[in-house]
Amino acid sequence: MTKTARALPIGARSAMAIGFATVVGIVAFGWPFLAAPQSSIVAHANDAPLAFAVLVPAVLAVVLAQFADGAMDAKSIAMLGVLTAVVAALRPLGGGVAGIEPIWAIIILGAFALGPGFGFVLGAVSLFASALVTGGVGPWLPFQMLAAAWIGLAAGSLAYLPFLRRTRGEHPWREVMVLAGFAIVAAVAYGLVMNLWFWPFTLDLAPGISFTPGAPVMENIVAWLRFTLVTSLGFDIPRAVLSAGLILVAGRPILLALRRASRRAAFEEPIIFEGRESDPVSQG
């Protein structure tokens, strides 16, 4: 059984920061189902995306600061930089057209090979960097970063499933199949959740798919699901098929390469600088 390398281990403070970011993210995404019709959020609907766009990156900055406090060293930064560059280079190839987004295969494989902490940071940082490359900076970016961070965190956590840990090396295709199935679920879930950042503010929608302030929670949830079905599912399914297909085709060699690199980097081994017995300068 191969030991799972953790390029960014999750300590107590990092876990608390991730939990706090997740709670804020849930509120940012799920406020349409909780806000009262007379609330200031509904009354100033046009300002809400900008408010959340400022709030979510601030929380993610706290998370990154916790990782940097002793957990992130030069080796993990280098690995993060390489995979972020790959994601940034791949994103313009699809540009989101018809859901052609190969970046999710890299994020999922990188997170699975290097751990949930690394996956969380990789998802957030790579979406930010690729947005700068493609000019996709806008009020939607913080939501994309947080959703991608959740996918990376979940993909990294899959490596700790008992049936995968016990059989690693004996059934190499089992984990690839699991990751391909996860990619399908994650790709559809990403589109479903990302609809929440703009769906409440979309005008001239049919009554059955529009957001109704103050309506029962279940009524708005059903409208949100219908909206996804008639609008974004045509993008989500190709995204899922492409991501799963790339993992099935290239997942095994990519995982082997990442694990080989992590073993050589020895992420969990401390760096010790050994001093020389004599100082030539002092002897002169």
**Each residue's pLDDT tens digit, 175-233:** 999 999 999 999 999 999 999 988 988 888 998 999 988 888 899 999 999 999 999 89
Higher-pLDDT residue of 70, 93:
93
Q: Give the mean pLDDT of 15-28.
A: 81
What is the share, in percent, of the chain residues with pLDDT greater than 90? 32
Number of domains in the chain: 1
Which segment of 80-89, 163-172, 201-210 scores lowest on mean pLDDT? 163-172
Residue 281 in domain: no
Q: Give the mean pLDDT of 41-53.
A: 56
Residue 4 in domain: no
At residue 87, the pLDDT reads 94
At residue 262, the pLDDT reads 76
| Whole-angstrom distance, CA of residue 44 vs CA of residue 212 | 15
Residue 198 in domain: yes
158 contact partners, CB below 8 Å, separation of at least 6: 112, 164, 178, 179, 182
Residue 271 confidence (pLDDT) above 60: no
Helix 172-194 and helix 233-265: axis angle, to 10°?
130
At residue 47, the pLDDT reads 54
Closest CA to 108 of 276, 278, 247: 247
Residue 2 confidence (pLDDT) above 70: no
| Whole-angstrom distance, CA of residue 154 vs CA of residue 181 | 13
Residue 131 in domain: yes
Q: Give the mean pLDDT of 23-52.
A: 68
Cα dihedral 152, 154, 156, 161, rounded to 10, equals: -170
Confidence of residue 109 (pLDDT cuts 50, 70, 90): very high
Residue 263 in domain: yes
Closest CA to 124 of 116, 242, 74, 179: 116
The CA-based angle 55-59-138, given to 5 degrees, is 45
Residue 161 in domain: yes
- The rounded mean pLDDT for the chain is 80
Q: Amino acid letter at 208?
A: G
- Residue 109's domain comprises 12-268
Residue 160 confidence (pLDDT) above 80: yes
Residue 154 in domain: yes
Residue 262 in domain: yes
